[in-house]
Amino acid sequence: MLQSASQPSGKRRRSLARKEAMWFYILISPWAIGYLLWVGGPMLASLYLGFTDYQVTSPPQWIGLGNYSKLFADPLFWHSLQVTLYFTILAVPAAVVFAIAIALLLNESIPGLAIWRTIYYLPSITSGVAVALMWSWIFEPNFGLVNLALFDLFKIHGPQWLSDTRWVIPTFVLMSLWGFGGPMLIYLASIQGIPSHLYEAAELDGATKLRQTFSITIPLITPVIFFNLVMSIIASFQTFTNAFIITQGGPNYASYFYIYYLFQNAFVYFRMGYASAQAWILFLIVITLTILAFRSQRYWVYYEGATEDRL
């Protein structure tokens, strides 16, 4: 009797589960179809085109690994990769440190806190082209705000920021800090999620604010630091707008980023097969760096409740 009474309930549960699964696939289908058409499809097409000689105006011709062998013998390929790596090494740590510092400041009780948080977040939602033009004016060597301020305050003649091969990448790093609002907001939410009793116990033990920051705050937000670190690495390898709008890869190829060279191959020289091969090499580089970052997290990322022998 008990088994027969439970059978309808089990059938209803299975029916409900099937309906929920059906509605799930129905509701997700617009995104899935769009992804297959506009992301998955082009990715597969570029994978094929990377093995062809495709000049847009003529049908693609299969050449196997010809594009990849040409890329590895191309000095501009290696130079653009070197420029991008140099930018990444400078920009990623600077972005992480700057965003954490601002998040710590905005976590304090100060007047007009909501306004300050809004002000610091707004730059991250501004247009890339407009921001690039703004920075080109700010760093203009003759009438730019930076050089004028350096001379008025310190009587220092500022460098040729965007036309000097030594300064153009550090200048781009300073520009990249403009978009710290998104990571800063994530850091701020993570900091506010730290239990207050940890700080209270530290104060009873006589720990200073600085000691609390490095012994409690930073270790407990390392998962968020890791997330933003990976996202920053990926974003740094996609740097394009400033090089395209401001310097066009100059001076003397000093800001010739990898994506800028890929863009030129694809849409200036119309070497679509060559550019597709270059894109897949970038994909493999980013995947490799991401895997290395995930492998490194066991040594410095703290997950609450995780055992010491976690993999």
Residue 308 confidence class, pLDDT cut points 50, 70, 90: very low
What is the model's pLDDT at position 124? 84
CA dist 297 to 231, 282, 292, Å? 14, 23, 9
Report yes or no: 302 and 222 within 8 Å, Cβ to Cβ: yes
Residue 309 confidence class, pLDDT cut points 50, 70, 90: very low
- What does the pLDDT look like over 132-166, one tens digit per residue? 999 999 999 988 999 999 999 998 999 999 999 99
Mean pLDDT over 229-251 rounds to 94
DSSP 51-117: TEE--SSS--EE-TTHHHHHHHT-HHHHHHHHHHHHHHHHHHHHHHHHHHHHHHHHTS--TTHHHHH
DSSP 255-289: T--HHHHHHHHHHTS--HHHHHHHHHHHHHHHHHH
Does 242 have pLDDT greater than 60?
yes
Q: What percent of the chain has pLDDT over 70?
A: 95
Does 208 have pLDDT greater than 60?
yes
What is the model's pLDDT at position 113? 86
What is the model's pLDDT at position 32? 92
User: Using a CB cutoff of 8 Å and minimum separation of 24, what contacts does 285-291 make?
Assistant: 285/81, 285/237, 286/233, 286/234, 286/237, 289/233, 290/230, 290/233, 290/234
Report yes or no: 132 and 246 within 8 Å, Cβ to Cβ: yes
What is the rounded distance in angstroms from the CA atom of residue 210 to the CA atom of residue 273?
54
Does 310 have pLDDT greater than 70?
no
Give domain 66-300's CATH superfamily. MetI-like (1.10.3720.10)
Mean pLDDT over 288-304 rounds to 92
Mean of all residue pLDDT scores within the chain: 91
What is the model's pLDDT at position 179? 85
Mean pLDDT over 272-277 rounds to 96
Does 311 have pLDDT greater than 70?
no
212: nearest Cα among 224, 197, 226, 225: 197
Which residue in this structure is represented by tokens 């066009």?
A: 248
Where along the chain do its domains lie? 2-49, 66-300
Cβ atoms within 10 A of the Cβ of 104, count? 18
Residue 128 confidence class, pLDDT cut points 50, 70, 90: confident
Mean pLDDT over 10-14 rounds to 80
Q: Parallel, antiparallel, or unpaired: how do β-strands 61-62 and 52-53 relate?
A: antiparallel
Mean pLDDT over 49-64 rounds to 94
Residue 305 confidence class, pLDDT cut points 50, 70, 90: low
- Specify the pTM: 0.88
CB-based contacts of 171: which residues, under 8 Å, 6+ apart? Answer: 139, 161, 162
Peptide bond into 93 cis (omega under 30): no
- What does the pLDDT look like over 24-35, one tens digit per residue? 999 999 999 999
Between these two residues, 4 and 151, which has the higher pLDDT value? 151
